Structure 1
Amino acid sequence: MMISTWVSVTAMLVALMNGVRTEDNTQPCAKVHTSRSVVPLGSPVTATCVIRDDCPLVIGQAVHIEWRLGDRLIPSSPAVNESDRVSRAVVASFNHTRAVLTCCIQASNQVVAGVEIRAGYSPESPRNLSCQTNLTSPITLTCSWTPGQHDTHLPTNYSLHTEIWDSSKNHTYEPPSGVHHYTIPRSDFILFSEMKIYVKAKNSLGEATSAPVVLEPVSAAKFDPPKIRAIQVVPKRLGCLRLSWSLSQHQVWMRNYLNLEVRLKTADSSSWSEKTILLDQIKPSKPVVQCHLLHGTVYLAQIRVRYQQSPWSEWSSSHSGLTLESAPTGRLDTWIKVSRDNTPTQLNIQLFWKASKQFRANSQNVSYVIFLHKQPNKKSKLCSTSDNYCTFTVSKRARKVYLSALNRAGKSLPTDVRIYQPKVAQSAVKDVKAVPHDSRSLLVQWTSLVSSDLTGYVVEWRPLLKADLSHIHFETVAKNQSSFIITGNFEPYKPYGVSVYPRFEDGIGFPQTVNAYLKQKAPDIVPKIKIKNTWGSQVEFSWDEIPLNQMNGIIQGYKVFYWNGKNPVKVVSVGPEERKLILENLNTMTVYEAIMMVTTCGGSLNGTIIHFQVQPFDAVTVGMIVIASGVGLAVFIIFTFMTCFSKKKRLKGHLWPLVPDPANSSVKRWTSESLQYAHPSWNNEEPNPKCLSHLSLLDLTTKPIKGMDDLWLNRTEDTSDLAKSICGSPFIPGYNGSNSNSVPYATVIFSAPFNNPPPMERPVYLRSESTQPLLEMEESFSPKSYQNMVTDGKPVEQCFFGPDHDCIPEKGLDPADLWHDFPFLQALAMKESEDYFEDY
């Protein structure tokens, strides 16, 4: 459109520039004549172009005229009986809503004249004319309409016309262009007088009028919402309420009859009743009585009004009222659960109930009582409560209990409840599933097992995070069903326990229970990974179960991701019931990182990263090594002990020298045979062992003791007394065997047995001590042949076997004093010692 306008303006300017100047003005060189500048769209258009003779562009030359419609050339023909300065063009079908038709001189390609042509449609009749009266201040009448379905492509004007029949006043209102509504002021209409209203549409191709609307302005008024002042009971009329109401303060002047509509619902209902109560020709402020309501029930009421066929007002605000009470009627739906709990004579009962479709509480304050007998009395009363459940015990012989509802007006007829015996071992249900059905319900499905005495099912559900039995709900299902939709106030992300119980003719079977969620999401937390054990190249993780209130869904499984700085990430999955995981083939002395992910049907959540390292020697390995070492050491000690015990004599000879024990020996053992046995050859390790000489000549007293030789020669008799008599001899000065702690004794050592030729070397005198009970010991060493006691603080050399080059006795020393230190030798009192030794 802008381009066409620009072309038209350009053509006019060119024409003016090429026009013939006169004294008064400049006239165009040519003119274009058309039958109409606005034509119906698609109709033919005829145009004639006439060039003036005095036009400077054509003086003195032949003229050939061309036609253009916009940028497109159209055929032309000279006008009949006209000169070449007149041309005619015909457009068979004008399909443009707006275009410029121009004529040009072909030689100079100059535009000399042009005309704009518009095309469209005549207007359609306006539709959907409606008017509404506003009765608030200020009072007005507003009418609105809809234009025709098709665009006319031409400027169209609308006008609103009113005609009041009881008056000669007619009014026409023209709204602004593009506006299809108009508000009539209060001065131009009468509320209770009928008037005719219509709309006209007009453009260059014609006009159209809408269908008229005849109305009384007050009947087109939409009243403000009325107000319910009070709802009261009707005395002595059960199930009836009286509503007092009034119009708003802006319409209180209204005294004509109105139509009134009432809608009701009980206080515990979530939606209004679909059936409304319509009351015609009601005077304002006249009370309305509604009956056939439930007894003792709180109702909420709303009303709206209109005048004749006017629009309904908006609903009023809600107001509540309570109908009169009456005794409860109908029976209750019940669900009983029986258990024994190891009590042979009593049954534990959990009884649940709810209102059936026929039950009417007929009161707001209802309680329930359970009796053991149909004719109730105080003794047979088992339970009284205002809840929807009760727990009690009865005798195992009881077969029925009776349930009644009570209020201030009376008591309902009892509902008998059969006591079903539990049948734990029998079940007719498997594969129970509970999935979301919509935003408010769950679909429960199960598989039924064939059973001849099956009578039905009970579907029970409860929120798992609430332990109160009042939250348990149930529904009885026929035996031919295998699915059921449960509806309730289910919360998203909260767990619900759904159980399906089979019912038999003689009892209740074992249930199947599943957890269900209306909506799931990722858990709130992820369990903390704990390192339980490590050994070799393995590590064992453990974790705790997520609390039920933080699961937010059914756990599908756990995944543990672990990695180190060198190897890629590895993942291990475990089932939802697992609480531990073993990672294998780990590198020792390498720091690993691990993280756990928990998944539900609604999402996943990652935990925190932990670091761990596998040591080359773990506690188990160290323990095994310690145990193996301990066992080996114990075996070695036992083996050594047994070996030593079995070879104690040889071991004794290796570890310490054999010293005769006078307390446990006799002189008889000092024979050559005993000495040879006591000093073995030790596998020829000692080529020259020392042998004790045989002492056979003893002089214990001045007069020999009779039978002494027998004591010395008899091998089987005990010689301990003899040893005692020798050691404790009264010839030993200052010695008392019972009061001394140690007893010195001496042994004469030779280099060869006594029966060998006498050795060339001098025999050695060995001094020893014994701590045995019968001997006293003085010193822990054996002096040499030339060393002896210390006398008066000075060492004294004593020559026991006579003076020689090694031993020179001191002067003034009495030899008799030397024997005080050797009581054993003194006790022997050997005679002619030198001859005696020579004989040997």
Structure 2
Amino acid sequence: MMEKMLLWALFLLFGNFCLADLPKKPKNISCVFYLQKNFTCTWRPEKEVYPTVYNVTRIYVSGRKIDYCTSQNRTSCSFCYPNLTYPDNYSIQVEAKNAFGQSKSEVTYWSLQNIVKAEPPEIQTVKPIPGVKHMLQVEWKKPERLPSFGLCECRLKYRLVNSTKWEPVSQRMTYEMPYNLTGLLALRQYAVSMQCRMVSSEFWSIWSEERIGTTEGLAPNSSLDFWRVLGPAQPDGKRIVQVLCKEPRADPRIRKAIEYEIRYFPESENSSKETIITADRQSELHLGSGAYLVSVLYFTSDGASPEATLRIPAVHEKPLQCIEGMQLHHFQDRLMLKWNSSAAEVDRWVIEWYPDEENKTLERSWEYISQTRTWTGRADNFKPFQCYNISVYPVEGMEVGAPHSVQAYFTEGIPEEGPRAKAQNISSHSATIKWEEISKAQRKGFIRNYTVFYKSEGGKEFAQIVNSSVLQCQLESLERNTQYTVTVMANTLAGGKNGTNFNFKTLSFSILEMVLFISFTGAGLLFLAILLMVCSLTKAKLKRLVCPEIPNPAKSNVVLWHGGSLQSKMHLGEVQFQGKTKAIDERIPKPFLSSSGDLIDKLVVDFENFLDKTEVQRVELMKMPENVSSGEEKYVDTPYSRCNPSGEVFQAPSSALISLGGTQEQSSGRPEEEVKDRLFQSPSSSEALELEQEEARLNPYLKNSVTTREFLTSEKFSDPIKKTELQP
């Protein structure tokens, strides 16, 4: 009994183990007929624990043919073309087999017309119809190798390119006719896909490859923004005007501009229009000195835009001025500009900005704003460390007014290099430091001021701050003959940059001191030279004034003529005149002669004066012919006449007067030549004595003088020469 029970337990144990290793029965069999390709069936379970071989048995042609399809470890199997018959009915059974056994599925039946699956259709074009907005036309083609019998139908779906949501089309298409997608947005891209199936089949083909089409855009409905830049006028009045066009305003319904058309003509001559068609947004116009009207429009594939017009003023025309003030404020990432206007009717403005460089081909940026007097510049509009010229233009209709401009840095930095300086006008206590202005490209900001550092050798450093508009500095209170080191620093809002150090040395003497020293020295030398020259020219005169030359009496002509006889008669009371001895009146003042030497000196000097005075008196007597011819005796006053206070003339005694009668008689018969010769003959002793006495009264070396000399004239005395000869 016990043995039977043990055998039964072993049988159950090993029997369950063997059943667990058998392949699972294939279930959920599904078959699809891919037209002109294959007949494929799939089932479950999809995966076995042990290696399994699947055998699919197909019974077709109304049960007259059987074939098999084997698959290793795969839960699908296909019967390939051309061993396919359509239309037909297939019976399918799947058998699974492994090392532990086998299992078979139920038999399934399939009608190929119901499970046929065709290829997707081909979309040929997706494009808009010209002139029709918001629509795309889809042209397509049915799948290839469709059976000649049966009806095929297709369907379509579309979506915006940037969207993932598909929009299906409910209408089915059975014929290869273009399909129009309507209700689309203008100037948008759409993706289109299609699929088809046999009407009797339950399977649709896969979706076809997507084709993209763009709906037709709208014609531009607004004018183009453009700007003009006026060039300088030439001597003949001609000028170059740049026309700058902006991209049309962003509108998803409007296409981009293809080309631009510029029309311009003189304001006074509307008939003479000129046109320029270009694809560039920048053009140059060569205009005259008068006013012009310039119009710009642009074209897209959908049409032309309206015209935009600006008036170009004449060369000498004054534009509108209404901007009164402007304020500039910096923020972290933007720049704000505010201004005031005196014209309330102006509500449209143009903001223009461009780098402050000497490049004529600078690209200008500009922007139209309206109904505001505030403009904010963004960081992407400016470059850091670059100086910009910012201008605001008022625009009223076609008229453009006068701008108001400022300069600004969006971001300031430290200059790339410092100023290059040098010393000039160096003196003993001062010097002038001059430096060059930093170029605009290297400033990186507005120069607020300059700082001049200077230091002597071993001394304390000093600094002077100079305004940015001044490029020199005067250093004062420097030490003489001392070397200084100088550095000039340029300062911006972000910081300063030092220039190259250089040295200079003050002078021992200032230029003024040297000039004064040289001037005084030169003046002294010049005065000394003039003094020496004057002394050399007036030496003889000075010598005669200071040390007069006294003649040597021993060598005089009087001594030589008379020898020793002259000295023996000097103190006698008479003198011989014309062979007769005449007594000399004792009342006549006689000069005191200390010695014979003094007398000789007196005679030498007075004889020379006598000759000169005789000639002068001769000339004076020749001027008195009327007095002499009257026959009356007159006294003639001479410079030597003496007068008393009552006006009477003191006369010498009669003994001292020399009668002119004898003289007249003796000389009347002589020729004039003899009279003249007598003036130059050697005088006799008596004549010499009389001359000596007379000249003694006139000689300045003697202290006595004769103030009055009397001449007795008669009507018989007519020869002035004789009178001169007979004058004592």
**TM-score w.r.t. structure 2 length?**
0.45
User: Structure 1-normalised TM-score?
Assistant: 0.40
Structure with greater Cα Rg: 2
Higher helix residue share = 2
Q: Compare relative contact order (CA 8 Å, sep 6+) and give the higher one, 1 or 2.
A: 2
